[in-house]
Structure 1
Amino acid sequence: MTASEIVNLAIGFLALVIGILMFWSLPVPKFTSRNAASLPFLSIIIPARNEEGRISPLLQSLQEQRFKQFEILVVDDDSTDNTAAVAESYGATVLQNNGAGKSSACWLGAEHAKGSWLLFLDADTRFTSVDGISNLLHFYQEKGARGIVALQPFHTVKQWYEHLSVVFNIIVVVGMNLFTIWESRFKTAGSFGPCILCDRDDYYLTGGHKGIEGAIMDDLALGEAFLDKNLPVRCLGGKGIISLRMYPEGMESLIEGWCKSFAVGSKSTHPVVMLMVILWISGSLTIAGALISSIIEWDAAAMVWSGVLYILYTIQTALFARRVGDFRWAVFPFYPVLFLFFAGIYLYSFIRVNVFHSVKWKGRKIKV
């Protein structure tokens, strides 16, 4: 092997180790109490824009919950489809928002809420257990019922193109700064967005979604608002409690969705965590390149070592991905494609945000 080949292999091995430190664990809520009578009335607020084809599983899962002490407020954010009619068919109260965006819709829902606690849910989520809400509320109660508990739903995958979200899902979680081997040493980047539980009084103390209106990454901004008031923000995985399916409409929706958030959201990631992410991604591509080069040059020793590291990268990426979604094992031997897609969309997002100062989402052009 040449000196450059040895260096590349060393970089790849180091990146594998960094990956372990970067994504050490993803805990899920645990609790001991099961006394539902001790839980307060809950208001579930669902901002929805053109969610006719996606909101039914969530509303169905809410009907199936054993815990029943809640109301459902669906805030129709200027939809052009039958979102409101679908929500009403499940018995939800529908409020009309005049097209001012998700933060405005959440604030409108909070203003009409009757519950002591508020649960904000994205319309494409669904509870995967009949005790999902109860378990989440008990966990929040045992943590003192202050601040935010936010879950990142477990990603459900149905179409092959959806596997292109693998690296994005991993980085979204890692980028919160809480899941390294050092756990809470780094300040959280904010809050996960699809499932946010908070106390009503805390919400109004921080200004809620009204105070962050206009923010592209409303979840991160809301978390920051709570942290500014010295209120805790706890971010956990949602496996076994809540799931979502991302961008079932197709590739265009997937690209728009990740472009909308990624370059902006990455600014909240701690520099140390960001450096680990960059090294991990770079190492993955370095090893893939080393393996291809060794085959072209027919260097047996280089092929063996780069092949071993390639397999280890395949396994590591699969294990990380299976923490955040039910991605199929068969895609991971082709992991360089997943990393290259991530790099391409990240670059595209960076250009849209920093050069054109706008992104597109659900037919709206959003200035940034």
Structure 2
Amino acid sequence: MVATRGAGPGGRPSRRRNAARRHPHPAEGLVTDLTDLVLAVVLAAAAAGAAFLLRDPRRLPTGAGAVTSPSSSVSVVVPARNEEATLPLLLASLRGLAHPVLEVVVVDDDSDDATTAVARAGGALVVRAPAPPPGWTGKAWACHHGVRAAAGDLLLFLDADTVLAPDALHGLLEMHERHGGLVSVQPFHRVVRPYEQLSAYFNAMSTLASAAFTRRPVAAPMAFGPCLITSRDDYERAGGHAAVRGEILDDVRLAAAYDRAGLPVRCALGGRSVSMRSYPGGLRQLADGWTKNFASGASAAAPGPAVAAGLWISAHHAIAVGTLLAVVEASTGAGAALSVGSPVLWFVAWICSAAQLRSILRRLGTFRWWTWALFPVPLLAFDLVFARSVARTLVRRSVSWRGREVRLGAADGREEAPRC
């Protein structure tokens, strides 16, 4: 029998090789320590960047301050397309406001369900918008028609899936009086079914990359469409929805229009005052909604916050992969050539990242424990939908939403007819 190289009699590993494994060369240990140190510094820097962006987020006032604008000067405008299931909650919350508004205008955007009947039963004035002309998206056209039908000096635009607490209007008026221009509120997300938890990273990334909730405004103004309040004078001065008629991100572009007109734009987190349930219609609706918005929204974010948010989510990818490889190596002995960093480093990084993600998500919605404890699960969902968004936005140049195919960058910015 011929012994293999490095093996003793019977093919067993030699004592010299076993000793080398138990006592690695000092230089190898130094390299490992330096690698762990570099990884730790990079991961800590990514976490610190996210913490900086959300160190003191602006929240909607709770309605304790004094306001001079009467609630009776507020017209609520609700663009609605096939919203029979969501409108009852919104309209009930508006009837329950501590201070009533002048009117609620629901604009039926070519619905094929009972949206009109539900809106009328809820006490709203219903306006049926004709088909959008060339160059207009459906939502911008509906908002434009709603403003024309409204009588108030203050305009409050609400998505149909939004719900206001009794004191929410007072807080909105207080913030608008303080800042003027356009005030936008990102609602607190009511996350009900398990698939809705997969929105975790989309909510976190949009909040971080926008940097819209910091006390010091960023270079690129940002707005969130579910809840916007402005005066009619400022709305017309900025050009209204006619200025963003063909934009898929009408809220972001409306903020830019206000900025061009020299008007301020301020954002706040909704907290307990303004909430919403974004995608109750199933996983496909959730994927279509984030596909429509996310790649375009990423390109509209300010460079500094976008880079910081990108580093943060890249660190989460690294931690997920590093921990997986460490577990595989520890349990099977395979994957040593791919593994970088010590298992202890990845374990600690997992715990710290999960804790920070929990802290972020608690401010944004009712996300369950597994969205942060098992963060690679919603992270994988983020990757798949973001890749789909990039493909639809940058390659195919069209996105689908509520039965309409929206062409991006087309000469007329048109929406195609609903698909059967």
TM-score range, shorter chain: over 0.9
Aligned to 1:354: 394
Relative to 1, partners in 2 of residues 1:68 and 1:179: Cα closer, same or farther, differing over 3 Å? Answer: closer
* Pairing partner for 2:283 from 235, 251, 257: 251
Q: Deviations over 1:85-137 (max 9, x none)?
A: 0000011000001232000110111111110100000001011x211112211
* Pairing partner for 1:81 from 92, 113, 118: 113
Aligned to 2:352: 312
Relative to 1, partners in 2 of residues 1:295 and 1:70: Cα closer, same or farther, differing over 3 Å? Answer: same
Question: Pairwise mapping of residues 26-175 of structure 1 onto structure 2 (< 5 A)?
Answer: 26-30=57-61, 33-34=65-66, 38-39=70-71, 41-100=73-132, 101-127=138-164, 129-143=165-179, 146-175=180-209
Aligned to 1:355, the other structure's residue is in SS state: helix
Aligned to 1:120, the other structure's residue is in SS state: strand
User: What stretches of structure 1 of length at least 5 have no aligned partner?
Assistant: none
Aligned to 2:319: 287
1:338 aligns with 2:378: yes
Offset, 1:63:
0.7
Aligned to 1:270: 302
Offset, 1:32:
5.1
Relative to 1, partners in 2 of residues 1:38 and 1:51: Cα closer, same or farther, differing over 3 Å? Answer: closer
Q: Deviations over 1:44-84 (max 9, x none)?
A: 00000000111110000001112113200000000000000
Structure 1 consecutive aligned stretches of length 4 or more whose deviation exceeds 6 Å? none
Offset, 1:26:
2.3
Distance 1:189 1:281 in 2: 23
Q: Deviations over 1:158-196 (max 9, x none)?
A: 10110100111112222323346xx42522442111000
Name which structure has the greater RCO, CA cutoff 8 Å, separation 6+.
1
Offset, 1:15:
1.9
Distance 1:17 1:131 in 2: 35
Offset, 1:336:
1.4
**Contact 1:12–1:283 (CA under 8 A) maintained in structure 2:** yes
Aligned to 1:260: 292
**Contact 1:126–1:243 (CA under 8 A) maintained in structure 2:** yes
Aligned to 1:184, the other structure's residue is in SS state: coil
**Contact 2:221–2:259 (CA under 8 A) maintained in structure 1:** no
Offset, 1:4:
4.9
1:25 aligns with 2:56: yes
TM-score by structure 2 length? 0.82
Distance 2:151 2:217 in 1: 37
Q: Deviations over 1:223-258 (max 9, x none)?
A: 111100110000010011110001111000000000
Distance 1:35 1:276 in 2: 37
Aligned to 1:75, the other structure's residue is in SS state: strand
Larger radius of gyration: 2
Relative to 1, partners in 2 of residues 1:142 and 1:40: Cα closer, same or farther, differing over 3 Å? Answer: farther
**Contact 1:78–1:96 (CA under 8 A) maintained in structure 2:** yes
Offset, 1:154:
0.3
Distance 1:352 1:199 in 2: 36
Tell me the amino acid that sits aligned with residue 169 of structure 2.
Answer: I
Aligned to 1:50, the other structure's residue is in SS state: coil
Distance 2:213 2:176 in 1: 19
Distance 1:33 1:293 in 2: 54
**Contact 1:44–1:118 (CA under 8 A) maintained in structure 2:** yes
**Contact 2:212–2:222 (CA under 8 A) maintained in structure 1:** no
TM-score by structure 1 length? 0.93
Over the matched positions of the two proteins, sequence identity in percent amounts to 35
Distance 1:227 1:187 in 2: 10
Aligned to 1:197: 229
Offset, 1:37:
7.2
Distance 1:232 1:365 in 2: 33
Tell me the amino acid that sits aligned with residue 320 of structure 1.
Answer: I
Aligned to 1:236: 268
Aligned residues: 362
**Contact 2:212–2:266 (CA under 8 A) maintained in structure 1:** no
Distance 1:202 1:308 in 2: 51
Aligned to 1:26, the other structure's residue is in SS state: coil
